[in-house]
Structure 1
C-alpha cells in the first residue's frame, strides 16, 4: 500500500480571512490550553514521589497533548485542504502492562503529534498578535470620523492626543499598516502550517519505502508460516491416515482368499479412512484458499466458516460492497485462524466476530472470545501468521489477551490493498 501525497492546493482569500478569524480565537483559547498543559505537567512531575497520583496527571497530560494536536490537524485540513492524514492514537499491539507502557512511549515519541503541538503553539502566538492588530485597525477606522468632533482626539488605549485635522491621516496610515500586518500574519500562518504539518516529498518517499519494506518482509514471513502450517497438517493428519489406508488395503489383500469376511471389514475400514482423508484435504485446501470468498464475498465466506466452528460464534458483518481480493483474503484468514486458536487453546465457550467497512476506506474486524486469555505472538504460531499476513496487505493488528481472559484481536486492512 502506498501513501498518496498531500494535495498542494493554492490558498485563497477566503482561507486567509478564515485563518485570521481562527487565529483570533486560538490566541485566547490556546493561551488557556497551554496553561492547562503546563499545570498538568508541573503537577505530574511534582507528585511523582506520591505513588500513582503524579503518573495519572502525566498520562492525562499526554492525551491532552494528543487531543490538541488532533484538533490542530483537523483545523488546518478544514481551512486549507492540504490533504493531511488524520492523526491517530498510537498502539503498540502488545498485550498486558508491558504493551500498555510501550503504547504510552510510542505516543509520547510520535512525531506527527508533536508537529501538531508546534503548529498550535505558533498559531497561539500569531493569534496573540492578531488581536491587538485588529484593535488597532478598529481604532484607526474611528479616527476617520475625528473631523466630526470638536477639539483634539485622544487615541484609545495609548493616551496620545492629536489634532482632529491630523487624525484622518493617522487613521489612514493605521488602517494600511494594520491591514498589511494582518495579511502578513495570515500568509505566515499558511506557510508555517504547510512547512510543519505537510510532509516533504522526500519524507513521503522514505515512508513509502519503509512501508513497502515492511509489507515485503511480512509477506515473506507469512508465506513461511503458511508453508510450515501446511507441512505440519499434512505430516500430522493426512499423511498418517493415508499410510494407514495403505496398510489396511495390504492386509485386506492378504486375507481376501483365506478370510473374505475379514478382508471386507478391512476394506470398509480403508474406505472410511479414505473419506476422512479426503475431508481433511478439503479442509486443508479451504484453509489455503476459500473459493466461496471469490464467488460470494466475505459475508458468505464468514458465514460458512462460522457454521463449521467448534465454538459457538456470533457473527455481525456490515459491508456496503466488495473490497480487493487481497484485503478480503487477509481478513478471512485472520478470522479463521483466530477461531481455530479459540477452539484449540483458549477453552472458550463462545466467540463474537464483528466486521465493518469504515469511512476511511479500511476493512476492520474484531474477534473476541471468553476463554482463559494469555495469548502471545510466538514465531511460527497462528498469531504470528495473522500478524504477518495482515502486514503484507498493508494493515495493522492489535491483540488484547490478559491472563484470565478475555481475548480480543482487532485487524484493519486497507480496502484497496
Structure 2
C-alpha cells in the first residue's frame, strides 16, 4: 500500500510539468496555426501541432505505465498512403484520435494542477498519500483510458484478432498435447500391457507342464502390470495433477519445487482461487520452466512468485519464474517456451521472457481470470 501511494505521488508530481508544457504548446500552436491559415503558414504550424500532440500523448501513456503500472495501448491512426504529402497530414489532423489526444492533454492540465499540491500534501500527511491519492489517480486513469486509448471499435477489433490468433495457437497446442499422450500411451503403458498379456499367455501354455516357470512368468507379468499402472498414473497426473485440484496452486507449485534438483523458493498469494484453466496453465508453465532450469540454465537457485492482481479489465494471475543461470533463453518457433506461450494464449494470457546472456532469466505469464 505504501509503495502504491508513493507511485501515485510520483505520477502526479511528474505529470504536472509535462502537462504544463503540453498545454502551453497546444494552445500556442493551435492559435498561431488557425490565425495564419490564410497565408498557408498555419498549415505547417498545425502539422507541427499533430507531431507535438502525438509525442505528449505517448509520454502520458508511458508515465501512466511506468508509475501506475497501467498499460494503455496506443491507438492506431490510419493514414492514406496513396495521397499527396499534404493530403496524408490533413487526414492526420482530422482523425478522431488526434482530437481525443488533444482533449486529454487540455483537460488533464487543470487536473494535474490540482493533483500536484495534493501529492505534496500526501507526502507530508501519510493517510492522504495512502488513501486519497490512489482514488484520484484511478479517476485520472479512467479519463486517460477513454481518451488516449483505442476506442470501442478498435478494442473489439483487436480483441477479435487476438482471440483468433490465440484460438489457432490453442488448437496447435491441443494437437501437440494429443500426440504426446498417444506417444506416451503407445511407448509406455501399452507396451507394458502387451508384455503382461504375452507373459500370461506363456504361463497358461505351461500351466500343467512346468509349474515353476509359470510362477516366474506370473511374477514377471505382475511386475509389468504394476509398472503400467504407475505409468498411467503419471500420465494422468501430467494431464491434471490431483494435488492441484485438491489443494490449489500453492501446494501444487510447492510440490514442483520440491522435486526440482535446483533449490527453489516459492511465494504464492492467490485468493480467491482462480478458475481451473488458469491454475492448470500456471502449473504447467512453472513445471516446464523448472525443468528447463534444472537441465539447461546452470542455475544455483530459482524463485517462483505467483500472485493475483486486480485490474479494471478483470483480475490477473501473474506467475514469475526467476533463476540465476547463464541466461540466453528465448521463445523460438517450435521450442518449449513457445509451446508454453501457446498454452497461455488459449486463455488469452501473455508470456514474456527476459534472459540476457549472463542471466538472470525472468519468465512471466499474465493469465486473465476472465476471458
TM-score range, shorter chain: 0.5 to 0.7
Stretches of structure 2 lacking an aligned partner (at least 5 in a row) = 1-14, 26-54, 75-96, 114-142
Identify the residue that residue 365 of structure 1 maps to in structure 2.
Answer: 319
Deviation at 1:215, TM superposition (A): 2.6
- Which of 203, 214, 226 is the aligned partner of 1:275? 226
Contact map agreement 2:73 2:150 (CA 8 A) in 1: no
Q: Which has the higher contact order (CA 8 A, sep 6+)?
A: 1
SS at match of 2:237: helix
Deviation at 1:66, TM superposition (A): 6.0
Contact map agreement 1:31 1:124 (CA 8 A) in 2: no
- Which of 70, 84, 89 is the aligned partner of 1:86? 70
Identify the residue that residue 388 of structure 1 maps to in structure 2.
Answer: 342
Work out the CA distance in 2 between the residues paired with 1:416 and 1:245: 47
Offset from partner CA, 1:196-234 (integer Å, 9 cap, x none): 525322212212211221232232122112112212322
Offset from partner CA, 1:223-249 (integer Å, 9 cap, x none): 112112212322333233333333443
Contact map agreement 2:321 2:362 (CA 8 A) in 1: yes
Contact map agreement 2:249 2:283 (CA 8 A) in 1: yes
Identify the residue that residue 40 of structure 1 maps to in structure 2.
Answer: none
- Which of 65, 69, 80 is the aligned partner of 2:61? 69
- TM-score, normalisation: structure 2: 0.58
- Which of 239, 247, 250 is the aligned partner of 1:288? 239
Stretches of structure 1 lacking an aligned partner (at least 5 in a row) = 1-21, 33-62, 78-84, 91-113, 131-191
- TM-score, normalisation: structure 1: 0.53
2:275 matches 1:324: yes
Q: Which has the larger radius of gyration?
A: 1
- Which of 328, 331, 354 is the aligned partner of 1:400? 354
Identify the residue that residue 163 of structure 1 maps to in structure 2.
Answer: none
Work out the CA distance in 2 between the residues paired with 1:260 and 1:116: 93
Deviation at 1:284, TM superposition (A): 0.9
1:194–1:348 distance in 2 versus 1, CA, 3 Å:
closer
- Which of 280, 286, 291 is the aligned partner of 1:335? 286
- Which of 282, 300, 303 is the aligned partner of 2:254? 303
Deviation at 1:25, TM superposition (A): 8.2
Deviation at 1:397, TM superposition (A): 0.4
Identify the residue that residue 315 of structure 1 maps to in structure 2.
Answer: 266
Deviation at 1:285, TM superposition (A): 0.8
Report the count of equivalent residues: 272
Work out the CA distance in 1 between the residues paired with 2:65 and 2:336: 38
SS at match of 1:394: coil
Query: Residues 187-226 of structure 1 correspond to what in structure 2 (within 5 A)?
Result: 196-226=147-177
Work out the CA distance in 2 between the residues paired with 1:399 and 1:194: 27
- Which of 218, 232, 242 is the aligned partner of 2:193? 242
Contact map agreement 1:68 1:117 (CA 8 A) in 2: no
- Which of 358, 368, 371 is the aligned partner of 1:414? 368
